[in-house]
Amino acid sequence: MPLPKNGRGGNGARGKATDGALDKEKQMAASSADAATVLTTNQGLQIPDNHNSLKAGPRGPTLLEDFILREKITHFDHERIPERVVHARGSAAHGVFQVYKSLSRYTRADFLQNPDARTPVFVRFSTVAGARGSADTVRDVRGFAVKFYTQEGNYDLVGNNMPVFFVQDAMKFPDLIHAVKPEPHHEMPQAASAHDSFWDFASLMPETTHMLMWAMSDRAIPRSLRMMEGFGVHTFRLINARGEAHFVKFHWKPKLGLHSLVWDEAQKIAGKDADFHRRDLWEAIEAGNFPEWELGMQVIEEGKEQSLGFDILDATKLIPEEMVPVEIVGKLTLNRNPDNFFAETEQVAFHPGHLVPGIDFSNDPLLQGRLFSYTDTQISRLGGANFHEIPINKAVCPFHNFQRDGMHRQTVDRGRANYEPNTLGAGGAEFRVDGGSNGFQVHPEPMESPKFRGRSPSFDDHFSQAALFWHSQSAAEKEHIVAAFRFELSKVDTPAIRQRVVDNLAHVDAMLAKKVAAPLGIDAPDARAAAGRAGFRDVRIQLPIEESSALAMARPPGKGIPTRKVAVLVADGVEMLGLRPLLQSLKDAGAIVKTVAPQLGQVATATGRQLPVDFTLANAPSIMFDAVLVAGGPDSVATLAGMGDAVHYVLEAYKHFKPVCALGDGVRLLQGLGIAAGADAKALAVHPGVVLGAGSADSAPETAQAFIQAIAAHRHWDRPGAAAVPA
Ligand code: HDE
């Protein structure tokens, strides 16, 4: 490895970021292996037989001397490493990051200076509670971890898809995770917070309240990893070349908009396709539909943070966008799937302490604890202190120090000098690092205070932002939150725990608590009971706003429908005249259109041609799609109407508030199901998100426009009778 030109004063000249996007790809390629043409042992010995072990005769026992068998089995026995203690299940992709304009005003970080510079990144998304093999669509927080391979070293922004956290102090993290993970006596339930120990802990820790509101909201069941926001959560510091510091909160805003599933759908997907999110990300990238996020920053001048009213070091608080607007500063694009899941997605090692000059921490006590945890966990997970040498973790800029040896060391360090200062290194000149203005500079935050084990009183308020979140939600989102609390708490066996949760919720909003409590077989919520409990303090800060629209997912519908998936239900006799132009319009708008029929192969169209079938009704149910289209043609519709699976398909899409479109005779199918009422297409009472088309070529543009609009709105929450449809 070439050594950097280190001189007195630390790292000397480092490459400036220009087009670094390919650097990581090239570096990874250097470590990659292609398919073999011959088979060898790990020592390179060619193996002529890979089917038979060495035996004492054709029917005799296997011989211990079979070193080829032993090597193969031994390696197999050790193929697994411990899964991450949290965020075990993840999916990742490579990409690039680019700033829109220089951020030199705020930070000296090299990768944030030049809009022409493309910095390679590797991004891993994850669920928190489930094991590596658990389902993707469970109710949970999602990890959103970004590794930037900059010319000044790796910078990791290890965030989540929610901007706050359950606890304020790292001391409580192991308790939180023990409580949410499967219960220790029987290891149930998998990947779910709906059990006694989680809610026992949560109800005894009122500081969890704000995050509980987020976790019970639709944010916890994203439609796609490509359609969720990301947040750095903690307050960080940006430092510019003059040494001036600003506090900052990081945001990722998805270009495809913010969308979620509905809970019934999420649970069903977990069974039908446990890899739903992983597949969606993989397929989008393979198809060239590269997901994008914009990086946003809320910047606060040092000294001004006091005026916010709450403590920016408290990770259970966010900064409402109305108080400090989010400045959009750059774009992240994911454009390449990993070559090997284990080598990259599993072995990638993130750490909030992987910093570059110009970005620094704050004193958030949760963040401070993380700074210890991440290296420690990698040592146990990846088997030693040399995990930075694993290709996916390797910096693209030169790195050099005198840390040596250890398990699985890859680098062959040359020479005698493995200490600093020295005069025995390359070139013989004195090598000394003892200060200077290059490299990472500590922000000289003044600090003098007696040691203190406790919480700052500025962390005491646990309810005002939970209430802000609640009041900011749309009516449909509020209903979903109530339903989520009810679902979770109905799985809690101990009535006293259910009671404590609703008593706490009464401090957020009396109506919320009352609604949650109603079907739970417990007493009416009592805010005073909560207030009387040990450790409970109801301290409120006054927020200048009562609602924040950025906290709700409900937004004005977007115009586009790129990568939305549409199922087209067809059977023999399908009428293509109006269908073909409609499908073309959907594809032109970026939708992914799939034909779904009673069987694979082809269906015969009304004119006797063949239409290829992508999926069967059974293997790709409506929950795999964003919208459903029932094609016309009397025979096709009659076949579908007589099939329970097809009827269920349409009803389920309706129940999940998805756009449903019917053409020609397909309209009758909807009428029969009570989704559309009336004698003919013109006189129909059409429910929100239900589009009816005549099925003729002439009417196709109009139908297409209405259907595309309905898909862009994603879900139609104001639809009547959805709850009455059997699940
Ligand atoms: Fe983590 N967290 N965490 N965390 N975290 C880990 O590190 C930890 C926290 C987050 O895709 C672990 O490599 C402590 C907040 C993500 O590889 C571990 C505390 C946020 C990922 C760990 C927190 C996160 C992790 C497990 C409280 C959002 C997955 C495996 C003091 C800002 C990264 C690993 C990936 C992973 C510890 C709290 C995000 C054990 C002690 C807050 C996205 O080190």
pLDDT averaged over consecutive 10-residue blocks of the chain (727 residues)?
36 54 88 87 95 97 97 96 98 98 98 97 98 98 98 98 98 98 98 98 97 98 98 98 97 97 98 98 98 98 93 98 97 98 98 98 97 97 97 97 96 95 93 91 92 96 97 98 98 98 97 98 95 86 93 88 97 97 98 98 98 97 98 97 96 97 94 75 74 94 96 94 86
Using a 6 Å cutoff on CB, does residue 145 contact ligand 1?
A: yes
**Residue whose pair of structure tokens reads 């269906």 in the numeric block:** 603
Beta strand 615-616 with 610-613 is unpaired
**Catalytic annotation on 87?**
yes
Query: How many angstroms separate the most distant Cα atoms in the chain?
Result: 95
Residues making up the binding site for heme: 84, 124, 173, 370, 374, 381
CB 632 within 8 A of CB 570: no
Domain-terminating residue out of 365, 388, 411: 388
What pLDDT is recorded for position 7? Answer: 34
Q: Is residue 214 part of a domain?
A: no
Domain assignment present for residue 102? The answer is: yes
Angle between helices 634-641 and 644-655 (to 10 degrees): 80
pLDDT of residue 426: 85
Residue 684 confidence (pLDDT): 60
- Token readout for 73 is 């089995």
Distance, in Å, from the CA atom of 120 to the CA atom of 396, rounded to the nearest integer, reads 9
Q: What are 622-644's pLDDT values in tens digits?
A: 999 999 999 999 999 999 999 99
Task: Tell me how far apart the alpha carbons of residues 75 and 255 are, in angstroms, rounded to a whole number.
Answer: 44
Q: How many domains does the chain have?
A: 2
Does residue 430 belong to any structural domain of this protein? no
| Percentage, residues of the chain above pLDDT 70 | 96
C-alpha distances out from residue 423 to 431, 470, 621, Å: 6, 64, 70
Burial of 468 (0-12, 13-18, 19+ CB in 10 A): buried
Mutate to test the pocket of ligand 1, among 146, 158, 378 (most ligand atoms within 8 A of CB): 158
**Last residue of a domain, which of 357, 388, 419?**
388
Confidence (pLDDT) at 1: 35
Distance of CA 56 to the CA centre of its chain: 55
Please name the residue ranges forming H helices in 235-311: 263-272, 276-286
Verify whether ligand 1 is closer than 6 Å to residue 87 (CB atom): yes
Q: What is the pLDDT of residue 35?
A: 77
**Distance in Å, CA 243 to ligand 1 centroid:** 29
d(CA 294, CA 98): 10
Residue 677 within a domain:
yes
Cα separation, 110 vs 103, in Å, equals 9
Residue with tokens 């038979």: 52
Report in angstroms the alpha-carbon separations of 630 from 612, 627, 660, 704. 16, 10, 8, 13
Cα distance between residue 118 and residue 436, in whole Å: 29
| Residue to probe by mutation, ligand 1, list 231, 374, 380, 382, most atoms within 8 Å of CB | 374
Neighbours of 340 (CB within 10 A): 14
Catalytic residue among 160, 161, 386, 393: 160
pLDDT of the residue at 682: 58
- Establish if 454 belongs to a structural domain: no
Tell me, yes or no, whether 207 lies in a domain.
no
Helices (H), 359-463: 365-382
Domain stops at, among 388, 418, 433 = 388
C-alpha angle with apex 310: 443 to 352, nearest 5 degrees?
Answer: 40
Is residue 65 in some structural domain?
no
CATH number at residue 288: 2.40.180.10
The predicted complex's ipTM stands at: 0.98
How many angstroms is it from 251 CA to the middle of ligand 1? 17
- Name the nearest CA neighbour of 284 among 264, 253, 254: 254
Residue 526 lies in a domain: no
pTM of the full predicted structure?
0.96
Is 486's C-beta closer than 6 angstroms to any atom of ligand 1? no
CATH number for the domain harbouring residue 654:
3.40.50.880
pLDDT at 11: 37
Q: Is 161 exposed, middle or buried (0-12, 13-18, 19+ CB in 10 A)?
A: buried
Domain that holds residue 593: 565-724
644 SS3 class: helix
* CA 377 to ligand 1 centroid distance, Å: 10
Amino acid (1-letter code) at residue 330: G
User: 573: burial class by Cβ within 10 Å (0-12, 13-18, 19+)?
Assistant: buried
